[in-house]
Amino acid sequence: MIRNALIALTTGALLVSASSLPAMAAGKTIAVSWKTFQEERWKTDAAAIKAVVEAAGDKYIDSDAQGSAQKQAADIEGLIAQKPDVIMVVAFDSDAILPSIAAISNAGIKSIAYDVQFEDPNALYITFDNVGVGRIMAKEILKAKPAGNYAFIKGDKGDPNATFLFQGQMEVLKEAMDSGKVKNVCETFTDGWKPDNAQKNMEQCLTSTGNKVDAVLSENDGMASGVVAALTAQGLAGTVPVSGQDGDLAAINRVAMGTQTVSVWKNSVELGKTAAAAAIALANGTAADKIPGVAMFDGGKKKVKMNSILLAPTPITIANIGDAIAAGHITKDQACAGVKGDVMGCK
Amino acid sequence: MAKHHDANSEPARSREGLLKQFFNATEIDTRILGMIVALLLVWCIFDVWSGYIRPNEGLFGGSFLTPRNLWTLLVQTSSIAVMSTGMVLLIVLRQIDLSVGSMLSLVAVATGVLQVYQLGPALGVGHPAIWILGVLACLTLGTAIGAFNGFLTAYAKIPAFIVTLGGLIAYSGVAFLLARGETVAPMDQNFGIFGGGIASSWLGPFWSWVLAAVGCAAIVRGIVNGRRQRQRFGFPLRPVWAEVFLAAIGSLATLGTTWVMNSYPWPPGVIEKYAKSNSIAIPPGIENRDGKAICMAATQVVHCNEGLIYYTGFSLPALIAIAVCMIMTFIATRTAFGRYIYATGGNPEAAELAGINTRALTVKAFALMGFLVGVSSIISSARLNAATNALGLTNELYVIAATVIGGTSLAGGVGTIYGAMVGALMMQSIISGMSLLNLPAAYQNMVVGGVLVLAVYLDQLYRRRVN
Amino acid sequence: MAEVKTPLIEMRDISIAFGGIKAVDRASVDLYPGEVVGLLGHNGAGKSTLIKVLSGAYKRDEGQILINGSEVTINNPRDAKALGIETIYQTLALADNVDAAANLYLGRELRTRMGTLDDVAMEAETRKVMKRLNPNFRRFKEPVMKLSGGQRQSVAIARAIHFNARILIMDEPTAALGPQETAQVGELIKQLKADGIGIFLISHDLHDVFDLADRLTVMKNGRVVGSAHVKDVDHDGVLGMIIAGKVPRGATPGPGALVG
């Protein structure tokens, strides 16, 4: 979905360990093979990785495959020739990349699958816990409204993520639903994740239930804007909790205003910093399974067991908006525009 | 009203059936009548069906034929309906604009950025100049892009299909870049009146009735005037009963629609907030939102009257769509511009030989389309209270579908504005109705696509029989 | 009789080419007030193209057009109409999807004081014109595609003569008509002649031309073979010009005449 130009939000115990590790040794080389720099977000990741690597006194090199599997294979050969200690790969094609990963291992270099999984047991896989996004949404909404009628505004029917998110939500809500405390009153896919479609679906949901909707699980922030517009027209915005994800600036503003409950945010700066710290640890000889936060993961297509770090996304709620502002992800003016009353972080 | 090509002015012979005599005398467009009947049928089906799933206060016990749903339906239809009136003229002219959806995104995001990031900080949030400039920017930008499409089509002689297919792809790219894919929100507060989602965009019952009265007067006056004119030149006249019938039907439709709009009460949450911010005490009879005695729909009106109740009346977006329909019908039938569009669509060579500057005409038609996209972008972004590059996505398909369902022929030369409005209403009714039944979007797409093809098929059958 | 006056219209050395092929090659014709000039030739001889230059449908590559002795510019149909040149095309050039009045006034609609179309006035005028041209015409409210060939023809003729034309171009005006309607067109031409209107009559029917025209000009392969007064030549002589390009006695040879 929409990626914002993300800037640092300093969180997580991993990062603390990251900044303490590099003091031990320097002079290592960390290489990254990017799949493309056409998308704005990867530059954010690159900047975060480079900063951590260079702060540790190590060397950062990279290459841009420009959206081509062939170029990426050639890029990796070139990187291997420069004899780095670790190569991180953002695979353009997670199957076609496997021979290149084997070549990395054969050269005695450690590999990291960054954000995009490829199934090689020797690689360390670092990404956000995508099913977890759905869980976090449901948790936050359940916290705000432990019982009542829930509406589910799902993403596009053709996007598997829409279903994964819903699965995550259901895991959390199962108990409350089985006991009858939470009722599913509307559940619709939204063509193209379009906010205006979400708005129409929400309007029809409110019409059919006679406004008896107590909470809305919207799968992203864009659709949440449509949901909130529909609720506003019925005078319900602010009283009905609404979820979202992406950390959209407009969504954070809605969180500050109280019309949206949570925006789950996958901070790619955090991902970059964690990966860089892990790479430095690998370069210094730490075994992959000894790196803090590493667990076994076998949720891929071929169920290959891999060491992996699954980062928990950050829920932005009214309680921690101040953090997002402090981290520079959003300015105080943007976050707090039109906010009346007591909101922590807007004072 | 409008001029019907199918109408037969020759005196009806007594041999003909009573029904045929009736249609000949009233000059009612039987095609559009058929569509309206189909539309009403769809509404009834949805009401019955939704009542079966979850009983409500609709005419047949469902949720569809309630003032609330019909009110919402008009708001939901308005954006597509406005654009479809422009598409009618373009398709009649043997052109097409595939880029309207992307244009809408571009215009919405550009003016959203202007409002939120430029004017807001510069003038102070909520400054009255913001919404005025925002509206002007939407209309100007839309017209300019439309004229550009028209220029490439008419003067650079690139087929409109290609020009606007390119536009479809390119404009959405520009829209993405303008805000780097982010949602721009919230829009200016005053701008929100165009969206129908806030109390200030509701006309209220008094002014709604006033408008309805003006509308009825205009219908009667139009019929009387038309009759006088024809009398003056000694043309054949419609029988008096037919004139009276037309006036009555037109007025009844106007008053009926107004009555439905005036039966939709303000949502309780909105009343509560309004009462609180204006320090009005809520009398007994209405309880808080979680209570049960809240006026939800028409049948509870008696109960609600004990408490505090306001009715919405027409919403601004619905009024804009109705006004656009009337103005565009006027343009299509009463101005030389409209006449040239139809004549050129019927026979471009003949129009050229008759001295019509068909190139300038093409540019104007595209510019008008762009202007209407500007209007729709105002409605859409105000309604969502946000501007995003996804806002207009795939709108071109719905606009063209509404136009075609409304009887506009892709071969050019044939089509009516009010047909497209009914087409848009039909499509949105299906989408909203199925959404009300909680049927997945995939089914909605299937049915809308099927209706499109069926409508064109029935249209062809109809034309073959008439000719 | 005509020699003493200036020609109403004179086309001098007109040339026009399409994709390198000269459709009309240095053709000259003239026309005096109240005169009918027949233009004859096979299909593709260039007569229709020449006349479309005059009506503004095509733009000439070379040559001059003079009206009453002074040169004029005709770049499009609007220019031609402004100069009083009206055309009845072989295809009729009607917008089939609108009614007779809309076609009659296409491009020069009557307006109300508000600037809107005055449909009632246009219909009234159309009824008047059609009463004169084709008294049986009644279907004023229907798109012209629903009319018969003769009715459509009368709409096209009405359009050409309604706006005080000085010069009328008729391209195969009787091609689609029955004998009775053809006779009506003949009557009309005589009537227009009497009003002092100059008429170019394009036809491949010799009888028509001999019946109605005062002079005739024959074209072949884009060139003028020759011109003659109708009374100075006979059918065979004219056929010789059309088929072989041979100029008979009594006719003036043009640049396209067979030499020898």
- For the cut 50, the answer to whether the pLDDT of residue A18 exceeds it is no
By Cβ distance, the residue of B125, B196, B432 closest to A338 is B125
Q: What is the per-residue pLDDT for B233?
A: 85
**pLDDT confidence band for B389 (50 / 70 / 90):** confident
Chain B CB contacts of C81 below 8 Å: 355
Helix intervals (H) in chain A: 13-20, 40-55, 69-81, 98-106, 130-144, 160-178, 195-209, 221-233, 249-257, 268-283, 321-326, 332-336
Mean pLDDT across A37-55: 83
Q: Which residues constitute the domain of residue B198? A: 18-202+315-466
For residue range B115-162, what is the model confidence (pLDDT) as tens digits?
988 898 888 888 999 999 999 999 999 999 999 999 999 999 999 999
Asked if A217 contacts A150 with a C-beta cutoff of 8 angstroms, the reply is yes
Q: How far apart are CA B168 and CA A161, in angstroms?
A: 27
Q: Which residues pair with A153 in a beta bridge?
A: A188, A218
The mean-pLDDT minimum among B15-24, B267-276, B377-386, C118-127 falls in B15-24
By Cβ distance, the residue of A186, A248, A338 closest to B186 is A338
Model pTM score: 0.83
By Cβ distance, the residue of B232, B343, B353 closest to C77 is B353
- For the cut 60, the answer to whether the pLDDT of residue A24 exceeds it is no
Best C48, C79, C117, C136 residue to mutate vs chain B (most B CBs within 10 Å): C117
Give the CA distances from residue B164 to residues A203, B172, B392, B413, C45, in Å, rounded to whole numbers and listed in that order.
32, 12, 15, 20, 42
For residue range A63-80, what is the model confidence (pLDDT) as tens digits?
988 878 889 999 999 999
| Cβ within 8 Å, pair C107-B354 | yes
For residue range A286-324, what is the model confidence (pLDDT) as tens digits?
998 889 889 888 877 788 899 999 898 889 999 988 888
Q: Is residue B298 part of a domain?
A: no
In chain A, where are the structural domains located? Answer: 13-129+267-312, 131-265+316-336
Q: What is the per-residue pLDDT for B163?
A: 97
| Cβ within 8 Å, pair C140-B9 | yes
State how far Cα B122 lies from the chain centre: 35
Q: How far apart are CA A109 and CA C59, in angstroms?
A: 77
Q: Is residue B268 part of a domain?
A: no
Homologous superfamily (CATH) for A13-129+267-312: Response regulator (3.40.50.2300)
CA distance C169 to chain B (A): 13
Q: What is the per-residue pLDDT for B48?
A: 95
Instruction: Give SS3 for B319.
Output: helix
Q: How far apart are CA C220 and CA C253, in angstroms?
A: 12
| Cβ within 8 Å, pair A191-B445 | yes
Q: Is C88-163+174-192 a domain of CATH 3.40.50.360?
A: no
For residues C43 and B43, which has the higher predicted lDDT (pLDDT)? Answer: B43
Give the CA distances from residue A262 to residues A136, A342, B181, in Å, rounded to whole numbers and listed in that order.
9, 17, 20
Q: What is the mean pLDDT of chain A?
A: 86
Q: What is the per-residue pLDDT for A10?
A: 36
Q: Is residue B172 part of a domain?
A: yes
Give the CA distances from residue C214 to residues A242, C36, C66, C131, C232, in Å, rounded to whole numbers and listed in that order.
90, 5, 21, 29, 10
**pLDDT confidence band for A38 (50 / 70 / 90):** low
CA distance A228 to chain B (A): 8
What ipTM goes with this model?
0.89
Chain B CB contacts of C108 below 8 Å: 355
For residue range B351-387, what is the model confidence (pLDDT) as tens digits?
999 999 999 999 999 999 999 999 999 999 999 999 9
Chain C CB contacts of B346 below 8 Å: 95-98, 143
Q: Which fold would CATH assign to domain C1-26+40-86?
A: Rossmann fold (3.40.50)
Mean pLDDT across B454-464: 86
- How many CB pairs below 8 A link B and C? 102
**pLDDT confidence band for C249 (50 / 70 / 90):** confident
The contacts of residue B382 (CB under 8 Å, 6+ apart) are B187, B191, B192, B193, B194, B195, B196, B197, B317
Could you check whether A13-129+267-312 and A131-265+316-336 share the same CATH topology? yes
By Cβ distance, the residue of C94, C107, C142 closest to B5 is C142
**pLDDT confidence band for B299 (50 / 70 / 90):** very low
- For the cut 90, the answer to whether the pLDDT of residue B10 exceeds it is no
- How many CB pairs below 8 A link A and B? 146
Q: What is the dihedral of CA A150, A153, A155, A161, to 10 degrees?
A: -10
Q: Is A131-265+316-336 a domain of CATH 3.40.50.1370?
A: no
Q: What is the per-residue pLDDT for C63?
A: 92
Asked if A200 contacts B432 with a C-beta cutoff of 8 angstroms, the reply is yes
Instruction: Give SS3 for A176.
Output: helix
Q: Which residue of B has its CA nearest to C147?
A: B467
For residue range A207-223, what is the model confidence (pLDDT) as tens digits?
988 889 999 999 999 99
Structure tokens at A74: 């050639």
Backbone angles phi, psi at A233, to 5 degrees: -60, -25
Q: What is the per-residue pLDDT for A23?
A: 43
Contact partners for chain A, using 3 or more CB pairs closer than 8 A, are B
Total residue length of chain C = 260
By Cβ distance, the residue of B339, B350, B354 closest to C117 is B339
Q: What is the per-residue pLDDT for A192?
A: 82
User: In chain B, pLDDT over 90 holds for what percent of residues?
Assistant: 61
The CA-based angle A113-A77-A34, given to 5 degrees, is 40
Q: What is the mean pLDDT of chain B?
A: 87
| Cβ within 8 Å, pair B296-A211 | yes
Best A3, A154, A225 residue to mutate vs chain B (most B CBs within 10 Å): A225
Q: What is the per-residue pLDDT for A3?
A: 36
**Chains C, B in contact: 3+ Cβ pairs under 8 A?**
yes
- For the cut 50, the answer to whether the pLDDT of residue C58 exceeds it is yes
By Cβ distance, the residue of B232, B350, B467 closest to C95 is B350
For residue range B275-284, what is the model confidence (pLDDT) as tens digits?
888 887 766 5
Cβ burial, residue A10 (10 Å; 0-12/13-18/19+): middle
**Chains A, C in contact: 3+ Cβ pairs under 8 A?**
no
Residues in C whose CB is inside 8 Å of some CB of B read: 55, 57, 76-78, 81, 87, 89, 91-99, 102-103, 106-109, 111, 115-117, 119-121, 123-124, 127, 138-143, 146
Element (H, E) at A31: strand A29-34
Q: What is the per-residue pLDDT for B31?
A: 85
Q: What is the per-residue pLDDT for A186?
A: 92
- For the cut 60, the answer to whether the pLDDT of residue B306 exceeds it is no
Q: Is residue B6 part of a domain?
A: no
Q: Nearest Cα to A233, choosing from B127, B76, B378?
A: B76
| Cβ within 8 Å, pair B354-C139 | no
CA distance B441 to chain A (A): 6
Q: What is the per-residue pLDDT for B303?
A: 40
The mean-pLDDT minimum among A14-18, A321-325, B264-268, C204-208 falls in A14-18
The contacts of residue C70 (CB under 8 Å, 6+ apart) are none
- For the cut 80, the answer to whether the pLDDT of residue B70 exceeds it is yes
Q: What is the per-residue pLDDT for B307?
A: 62
Mean pLDDT across C3-19: 86
Structure tokens at A192: 């193209």
Instruction: Give SS3 for C175.
Output: coil
**Range ranked top by mean pLDDT from A47-56, B117-126, B170-179, C197-206:** A47-56
Q: What is the CATH number of the domain that holds B79?
A: 1.10.3470.10
Q: Which residue of C has its CA nearest to B231?
A: C120
- For the cut 70, the answer to whether the pLDDT of residue B285 exceeds it is no
Q: How far apart are CA B394 and CA B391, in angstroms?
A: 9
Q: How far apart are CA A152 and CA B291, in angstroms?
A: 24
State how far Cα B183 lies from the chain centre: 26
Contact partners for chain C, using 3 or more CB pairs closer than 8 A, are B
CB count within 10 Å of CB B446 equals 13
Q: What is the per-residue pLDDT for B421?
A: 96
For residue range A100-138, what is the model confidence (pLDDT) as tens digits?
999 999 999 999 999 888 889 999 999 888 778 999 999
Asked if A69 contacts A86 with a C-beta cutoff of 8 angstroms, the reply is no
Number of domains in chain B: 1
- For the cut 90, the answer to whether the pLDDT of residue A344 exceeds it is no
Q: What is the per-residue pLDDT for B15?
A: 54
Contact partners for chain B, using 3 or more CB pairs closer than 8 A, are A, C
Give the CA distances from residue B51 to residues A270, B433, C3, C197, in Å, rounded to whole numbers and listed in that order.
51, 12, 91, 76
Mean pLDDT across B234-251: 90
- For the cut 50, the answer to whether the pLDDT of residue A19 exceeds it is no
Chain C CB contacts of B10 below 8 Å: 138-139
Chain A CB contacts of B390 below 8 Å: 192-196, 222
Q: Nearest Cα to C193, choosing from C57, C3, C8?
A: C8
By Cβ distance, the residue of B229, B235, B346 closest to C96 is B346
By Cβ distance, the residue of A201, A234, A338 closest to B435 is A201
Structure tokens at A183: 């009722």
Chain B CB contacts of A190 below 8 Å: 441
| Cβ within 8 Å, pair B388-A236 | no
User: In chain C, pLDDT over 70 holds for what percent of residues?
Assistant: 98
Structure tokens at C76: 């499009």
In chain C, where are the structural domains located? Answer: 1-26+40-86, 88-163+174-192, 228-260
By Cβ distance, the residue of B125, B388, B445 closest to A222 is B388
